[in-house]
Each structure stands twice: as structure tokens, then as C-alpha cells.
């Protein structure tokens, strides 16, 4: 790819339910992560210094989604999308692991921080600024920006705005701040082609110039599909014999109990697959270390609980404090969730229960 190539980009948006932004009683749009303060007078944060470790709110599970907006112009991406970005745009993002809020449990999401900054708006001259650091006290893009571009040209496929905006017109502290994230039209098209879901081209203005891909952009999409090879298709964690053997060893499974399986199927109204059959035969007492002070201890089938949540999860390992691990029996790979008794929320921690025994 030539260095000075001009690429057409558009802002993207995703679900209002964000992974690193919460609505609290104190403030709408409260960031989960704490930013370093760069000005002691107006408390403006250092918006270019990403907090570490980077947390994702508890109870935010987006299955079937692979790319989402993150706070301040960054993105959350799946491991597949990360690999694709690394092949197609080797230097355009910096990646950070993410963790379930206030824990050391990593999530399946990577934070992708665009290295390319673009200017897509400018605050009007008459807006009050902090006397110490000169940051505007508020920057509503509709009324307090001189201009606000949703589409622009740049020399990268992934970018974020260097400028920031606030939805509050009086004080950014009332609602936090935001930055736009841009993807190239050709990348948006590629993501659509490979079913990497989660983001949408922002349709603020109906700019016919940006409605369709050019011939060159279409060609780029075709060539990129070639380049990414097998990553075109969604990665499914395969259930291998080796994985099953490790699982049996880890959970002390020596035989299968048909009686338990029958009870299980009746109780949860499902037909047990290969993995759920094994889970029915897990022996009591297995300890599972998942990054907490104390490991979780397997209870037996009579103690299994079921969540009232829409996607029913079944608990199979408990600790003495009331936390437990759950899995999703309706999913072929049986993803594993953690239940936190203090927050009463469930978090996806592994894309398959087999991964628990893989380490
Ligand atoms: Zn200031």
C-alpha cells in the first residue's frame, strides 16, 4: 500500500449499550476506566493516555459481535478482527488486553487504539475555556463547533478525532466527553463481507459522494479477502479429542453417568451435547483457579442453579462466598460465565468450557 494514498473514511457507531461507559445516578455516560487528570483547575483528563489495565463493565456480553466503539475514539475488537487489522494495517492501531471490571480476568475483547488522529471539528472562538489549560469547558458539536465532519479523507484506514466533544452544552463534566472513530469505507465493506458485526457507518449526512465504493476500493476489498485467508470465516473453537481428554483429566471424570444426563436434560429442557454430557459427569471437589484469591470449588448436580436471565446459564462451580461459574448449555461450545454475588452480574470469561482446562 502506498504511504500517501488518500483513503475515504466515515465515522462509525455501535449499540448504545457500551462496554466501557455506564449510566449512573451521578452522571450519564460515566466511563468505567479512570483517566489521569491533566489539568488540576478544570479536571480535564489526559485523553491520549489510555488507562491500564483497561476494564470492561461487568455483565456486558455481546455475543455475535466482533467490533464495537470504545471510549474516546477507540474500538473493541475480537481476536479475529485484531488479526485482520494486523495483516492489513500493521501500524495503525495499538492493542491492549481488556479485563472484567476490577478483576484480573481478561475478556475476549481487545482494545484497539487508532494511532492516526484526524481533525473533524473545531470549537468556536466564543466558547469559554479553562484559564489554566485552555481546554473548552464544553464542546457540543451541533451548536458549539465551527464544523463537524462525519466523512473525510486521510492516509489511514482507522483513525480517531484529535478533537473532543461533549453532549452537554454547559459543562463537559455533566456527561463526559467523546471522540469520533473513523473507518475507511472499504474496511467497513470488508467487515460486512466477513460478517464481523457491531459497527455501522454513521448516516448523519446523506453525502452521495460517500454512498458507494469506487472501483479501486472494491478491488482493495477483493484483494484484502485474499490476504486474510482463513480469517474470512468466523473462528469457532473446535471440540477436539485432545481438548476433551484434557477436560476429563482436569475435572476428574472417569465415567459417564447416564442417569445424571437424563436428569439434566429433563431439568433444563435441552438435549445434552458432547460437552454437556461431560459436565454432567464432573466430580465434586475440583478446584478451578480463575484469578481470584480462592479457587472455585465444584459442587454436585443437585446444587446446580439456573439464571433467570434470557439466555439461561447453569452454575456448576461455587465458592464459599456465593460466587460461581456458569456455562451456557444451549451453546455448542458451552461458554463459561462468572457470577459475582456482590454485583449480581454475569460475565463471559471463556468462549468454551474446554478452555478452562486448557491452561
Ligand atoms: Zn484546565
Summarize pLDDT for 216-263 with one digit per residue, the tens. Answer: 999 999 999 999 999 998 766 667 888 888 888 888 887 767 778 888
Categorize the per-residue pLDDT at 310 as very low, low, confident or very high, splitting at 50, 70 and 90.
Answer: very low
Ligand 1 centre distance from Cα of residue 40 (Å) = 7
Ligand 1 centre distance from Cα of residue 96 (Å) = 28
Ligand 1 centre distance from Cα of residue 57 (Å) = 28
Ligand 1 centre distance from Cα of residue 131 (Å) = 7
d(CA 333, CA 273) in angstroms, rounded, equals 9
Ligand 1 centre distance from Cα of residue 223 (Å) = 47
Q: What are the tens digits of pLDDT across the range 107-136?
A: 789 999 999 999 999 999 999 999 999 999
d(CA 268, CA 263) in angstroms, rounded, equals 9
Ligand 1 centre distance from Cα of residue 37 (Å) = 9
- Considering the chain, what percentage of its residues have pLDDT values greater than 70? 88
More confident residue, 103 or 336: 336
Report pTM.
0.72
d(CA 205, CA 189) in angstroms, rounded, equals 19
pLDDT at 312: 67
Ligand 1 centre distance from Cα of residue 115 (Å) = 25
pLDDT at 161: 98
Ligand 1 centre distance from Cα of residue 296 (Å) = 47
Ligand 1 centre distance from Cα of residue 73 (Å) = 21
Ligand 1 centre distance from Cα of residue 25 (Å) = 25
pLDDT at 308: 59
Q: What are the tens digits of pLDDT across the range 281-306?
A: 887 788 887 766 778 888 777 677 77
Q: What is the mean pLDDT of residues 263-280?
A: 83
pLDDT above 60: residue 309: no
d(CA 178, CA 193) in angstroms, rounded, equals 29
Ligand 1 centre distance from Cα of residue 129 (Å) = 8
Question: What's the sign of the alpha-carbon dihedral 97, 231, 155, 210?
Answer: negative
Amino acid at each position: 500500500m502506498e504511504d500517501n494514498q488518500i483513503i475515504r473514511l466515515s465515522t462509525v457507531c455501535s449499540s448504545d449499550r457500551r462496554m466501557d461507559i455506564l449510566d449512573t445516578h451521578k452522571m450519564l455516560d460515566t466511563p468505567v476506566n479512570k483517566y489521569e487528570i491533566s489539568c488540576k483547575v478544570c479536571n480535564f483528563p489526559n485523553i491520549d493516555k489510555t488507562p491500564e489495565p483497561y476494564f470492561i463493565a461487568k455483565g456486558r456480553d455481546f455475543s455475535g459481535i466482533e467490533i464495537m466503539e470504545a471510549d474516546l475514539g477507540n474500538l473493541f475488537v475480537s481476536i479475529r478482527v485484531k488479526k485482520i487489522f494486523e495483516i492489513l494495517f500493521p501500524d495503525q492501531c495499538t492493542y491492549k488486553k481488556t479485563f472484567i471490571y476490577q478483576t484480573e480476568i481478561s475478556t475476549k475483547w481487545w482494545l484497539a487504539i487508532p494511532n492516526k488522529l484526524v481533525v473533524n471539528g473545531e470549537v468556536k472562538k466564543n466558547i469559554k475555556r479553562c484559564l489554566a489549560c485552555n481546554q473548552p469547558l464544553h464542546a457540543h458539536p451541533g451548536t458549539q463547533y465551527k464544523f463537524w465532519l462525519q466523512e473525510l479523507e486521510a492516509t489511514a484506514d482507522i483513525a480517531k478525532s484529535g478533537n473532543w466533544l461533549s453532549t452537554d452544552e454547559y459543562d463537559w463534566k455533566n456527561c463526559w466527553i467523546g471522540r469520533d472513530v473513523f473507518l475507511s469505507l472499504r474496511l467497513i465493506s470488508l467487515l460486512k463481507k466477513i460478517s464481523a458485526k457491531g459497527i455501522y457507518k454513521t448516516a448523519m449526512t446523506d453525502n452521495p459522494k460517500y454512498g458507494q465504493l469506487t472501483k479501486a476500493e472494491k478491488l482493495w476489498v477483493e484483494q484484502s479477502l485474499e490476504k486474510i485467508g482463513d480469517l474470512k470465516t468466523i473462528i469457532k473453537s473446535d471440540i477436539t479429542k485432545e481438548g476433551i481428554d484434557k477436560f476429563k483429566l482436569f475435572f476428574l471424570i472417569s465415567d459417564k453417568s447416564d442417569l445424571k444426563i437424563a436428569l439434566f436434560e429433563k431439568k433444563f429442557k435441552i438435549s445434552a451435547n458432547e460437552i454437556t454430557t461431560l459436565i454432567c459427569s464432573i466430580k465434586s471437589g475440583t478446584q478451578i483457579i480463575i484469578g481470584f484469591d480462592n479457587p472455585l470449588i465444584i459442587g454436585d448436580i443437585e446444587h446446580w442453579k439456573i439464571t433467570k436471565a434470557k439466555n439461561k446459564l447453569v452454575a456448576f462451580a461455587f465458592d464459599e462466598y456465593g460466587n460461581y461459574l456458569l456455562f451456557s448449555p444451549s451453546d455448542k461450545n458451552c461458554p463459561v460465565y462468572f457470577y459475582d454475588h456482590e454485583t449480581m452480574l454475569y460475565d463471559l470469561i471463556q468462549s468454551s468450557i474446554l478452555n478452562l482446562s486448557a491452561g
